[in-house]
Amino acid sequence: METLYEIETFKIKLAVEEPKLAPARCALDAAAILRPIYADLDADQEHFSILLLNNKNRVRAHKVISSGSLTASLVHPREVFKPVILYGAAAVILCHNHPSGDPEPSPEDIDITRRLVQCGEIFGIRMLDHVILGRDSMFSFSDRGMMNAPHMPKV
């Protein structure tokens, strides 16, 4: 019998690696990563987002959790922790902006941070910081010693 055609076969191996990003070791590192992201979002709205980190604090992903109004953004722990668990993040940096330009946290900011830190403790996921971006400045809960749930001030 005569060969009509030949098909050469080969194997393909797909290797997925995490990008070699610098670790987010402090609020300044996080802000340097987040400012370009927030530059593409509407500046007249609050946006709450998270940086998902691996066990070496390298950013694996970024997710905008909610976009709100000039003065508020609705945040619920289930929406925050869904991508955290799906991505298998070891740690999280919370972030949101204040369109007013003043990064000082509101009582609501302190309350949601406390709740998310408590949820992180239940899941065994480190909540490293909550960074609030202002116009030319930022506020870091971690830098102020406010990321330990039992020691966070009550609203």
Per-residue pLDDT 10s for the chain (155 aa) are 677 777 776 665 555 555 566 688 899 999 999 999 999 998 889 999 999 999 999 998 999 999 987 766 789 999 999 999 999 999 999 999 999 999 999 999 999 999 999 999 999 999 999 999 999 999 999 999 998 754 455 54
Asked if 59 and 94 count as a contact pair (C-beta separation under 8 A), the reply is no
Residue 27 pLDDT: 93
Tokens linked to 41: 């979002």
CA distance 73 to 147: 20
* Cβ-proximal residues to 100 (8 Å cutoff; 6+ apart), any chain: 70, 71, 134
* Spans of all domains in the chain: 27-151
Q: Which CATH superfamily is domain 27-151 in?
A: Cytidine Deaminase, domain 2 (3.40.140.10)
CB-based burial label for 17 (10 Å; 0-12, 13-18, 19+): exposed
